């Protein structure tokens, strides 16, 4: 069921042996994420994919997506996501995804974990970041303006700390890394793109893969890679999600127009592996599962973490292929499946429906 797509490398070899011109012209940009994920899956010993579970999950996911009429429009329906479609929104999304990492806490009392109060509501996790950015703008702090990030007389470390202040005694995790990301991104935008995120987007020429590669090449804080069996592995979670958020916010038009949006993969984070395990797609070795259930931290860049991320990306790719096998007109890609799985997992958390905790890794990559 998952082997119906042709192997392009084998086809190229066959073309060459027959003297037929292959794909030797201008090559489309490649983020390498999907190829690396397949390699991780093929060489994993602590994670496995349950093919029957994956097939069943694909059917369930597609049925629920249809019932809920889930689409990229759902992105803008979230209360805190930007509603305007302009350059300021592009800057907002860039900062949002620049800092979109590590919101979990090891605090024994969930009520004392990092959270942000905004407009009379308490927000946690990813939404705490988005709320903090909105709050800063309403306080007339130009936190989404790249030139502000490199003005250390106005945008001091203490100002950034104030922007991300918590409604509890817990600070936002990895604050120093967030400050470093802001400074680094500001300097890179200034030196390489005349201080403009729009210029960065224009340089990609409407290619999602090209924009991911620009981000990971020019901005070290977007270059999300690891090593597995002595081979470099590319994940690029935040670079990919920036492109996906632009696409969703601008409905595939204007700053969100990308002709190859389907080259993006699922965004390897905490919640999707958790959801894939819950759906019966991913199976963990006893030692890994015990480690996760005991809420023990997993090393960033270690073998377990790389397997969790790589196998999750490949699993979502197989779910995508199975959905298209079931319904050739489905029109879904890995990005939309990721959005749906993430939202569904967050709903389960709120309802107390977690069957396994998410893995714990302190990382600036997700």
Distance of CA 32 to the CA centre of its chain: 15
Distance of CA 362 to the CA centre of its chain: 16
- Catalytic residue numbers? 269
The Cα–Cα gap between 140 and 134 comes to: 10
Contact in structure between 257 and 266 (CB atoms under 8 Å): no
Which letter does DSSP use for residue 261 in this model? Answer: G
Contact in structure between 54 and 322 (CB atoms under 8 Å): yes
Nearest to 72 by CA among 243, 298, 244: 244
The Cα–Cα gap between 84 and 57 comes to: 35
Q: Is 93 exposed, middle or buried (0-12, 13-18, 19+ CB in 10 A)?
A: buried
The Cα–Cα gap between 234 and 289 comes to: 24
DSSP H or E run through 225: strand 225-228
Nearest to 280 by CA among 101, 48, 120, 73: 48
Q: Using alpha carbons, list the distances in angstroms from residue 131 to 119, 161, 162, 340.
A: 9, 14, 13, 21
Contact in structure between 36 and 229 (CB atoms under 8 Å): no
Contact in structure between 31 and 236 (CB atoms under 8 Å): yes
DSSP H or E run through 307: helix 303-326
Which letter does DSSP use for residue 79 in this model? Answer: T
β-bridge partners, 48: 283
């Amino acid at each position: 069921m998952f082997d119906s797509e042709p192997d392009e490398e084998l086809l190229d070899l066959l073309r060459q042996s027959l003297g037929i011109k292959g794909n030797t012209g201008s090559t489309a940009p490649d983020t390498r994420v999907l190829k690396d994920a397949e390699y991780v899956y093929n060489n994993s010993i602590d994670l496995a994919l349950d093919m029957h579970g994956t097939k069943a999950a694909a059917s369930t996911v597609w049925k629920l997506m249809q019932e809920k009429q889930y689409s990229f429009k759902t992105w803008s329906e979230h209360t805190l996501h930007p509603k305007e479609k302009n350059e300021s929104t592009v800057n907002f999304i860039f900062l949002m995804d620049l800092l979109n990492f590590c919101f979990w806490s090891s605090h024994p009392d969930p009520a004392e974990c990092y959270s942000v109060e905004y407009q009379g509501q308490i927000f946690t996790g990813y939404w705490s970041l988005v709320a903090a950015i909105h709050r800063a703008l309403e306080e007339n702090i130009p936190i989404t303006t790249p030139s502000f990030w490199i003005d250390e007389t106005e945008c001091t470390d203490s100002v950034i700390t104030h922007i991300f202040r918590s409604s509890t005694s817990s600070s936002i995790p990895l604050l120093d890394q967030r400050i470093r990301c802001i400074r680094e991104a500001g300097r890179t935008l200034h030196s390489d793109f005349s201080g403009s995120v729009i210029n960065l987007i224009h340089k990609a020429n409407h290619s999602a893969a090209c924009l991911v590669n620009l981000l990971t090449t020019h901005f070290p804080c977007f270059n999300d890679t690891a090593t597995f069996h002595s081979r470099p592995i590319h994940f690029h979670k935040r670079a990919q999600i920036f492109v996906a958020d632009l696409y969703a916010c601008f409905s595939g038009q204007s700053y969100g127009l990308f002709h190859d949006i389907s080259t993006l993969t699922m965004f390897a984070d905490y919640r999707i592996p958790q959801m894939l395990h819950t759906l019966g797609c991913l199976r963990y070795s006893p030692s890994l599962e015990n480690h996760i259930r005991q809420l023990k931290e997993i090393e960033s860049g270690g073998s377990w973490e790389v397997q969790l991320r790589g196998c999750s990306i490949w699993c979502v790719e197989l779910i995508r292929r199975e959905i298209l096998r079931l319904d050739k007109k489905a029109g879904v890609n890995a990005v939309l499946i990721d959005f749906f799985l993430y939202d569904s997992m967050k709903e389960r958390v709120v309802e107390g429906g977690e069957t396994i905790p998410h893995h714990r890794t302190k990382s600036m990559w997700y």
